[in-house]
Amino acid sequence: MIALIPNGVYNMSNRKAIINENAKKYQKSAKKIKSQLLEGLMPILHMNRYQT
């Protein structure tokens, strides 16, 4: 899994923290890595690619 989950964040009310943690990595990544990152975040956040 490429997506990072910050320590201590395990409930879905803190989705924004998970998204912000991975946003920096997403912006610097190549297209293939971006796709893998989004695929990893979808089941964690219960959101689709366009919402994350």
Nearest residue to 6 via CA among 25, 28, 34, 30: 25
List pLDDT tens digits, range 14-40.
Answer: 788 888 888 888 999 999 999 999 888
pLDDT range class, residue 1, cuts 50, 70, 90 = low
Residue 20, pLDDT score: 85
To the question of pTM greater than 0.75 for the whole model, the response is: no
Please check whether residue 49 is in contact with residue 42, taking contact to mean a CB–CB distance below 8 angstroms.
yes
Residue 10, pLDDT score: 63
- Lookup: tokens for 33: 């890595």
Average pLDDT, integer, range 47-51: 78
